[in-house]
Amino acid sequence: MFRGVYEHQVDAKGRTSLPARLRETLVGAYDERLILTTALDPCLHAYPVREWEALETALGRRSPMEPGVKTLMRLYVASAQECPLDKLGRILIPPSLRAHAKLEKDLVWVGMVKVIELWSRDGWAKAQEEARAAADSADVARVLAELKQ
């Protein structure tokens, strides 16, 4: 499972290093490839190929005429690109994906169990503020209790 928050930078060519902890999980449980796509938030999602294929399979069972499915395919699937790690553990983030998440220099890798999010440092700070402001402790406690059952 992917967990933790790691600050890194993007170089002039659009490359960044996958943090060692996340790389260990990726290589240990999957392989050295990630599928990057635009998230509904101003960030990117990075899936191990096997997890992405499971999502595509589940989505493929749904009717593409269903409004939510069509929108998800247009926003999420159409933007997806396979991005392998190089020998130094770096990944090249395509320009269109960098633009979506406003990744210019400082970025944050965020482990989210089966997916990794990539945020600009400012975007992540804003998302954390919004989450804390919107968090209803009763809802969070309910979800935690359900998970422990």
The structure tokens listed for 143 are: 């979800």
Residue 73 in domain? yes
Quote the domain boundaries for residue 33. 5-121
Residue 146 in domain? no
Whether the pLDDT of residue 137 is over 70: the answer is no
Calculate what percentage of the chain has a pLDDT beyond 70. 98
Please state the domain count of the chain.
Answer: 1
What is the domain-level CATH number for residue 68?
A: 3.40.1550.20
Residue 53 in domain? yes
pLDDT in tens, 57-107: 999 999 989 989 999 999 999 999 999 999 999 999 999 999 999 999 999
Whether the pLDDT of residue 140 is over 90: the answer is no
The CA angle 100-105-108, to the nearest 5 degrees, is: 75
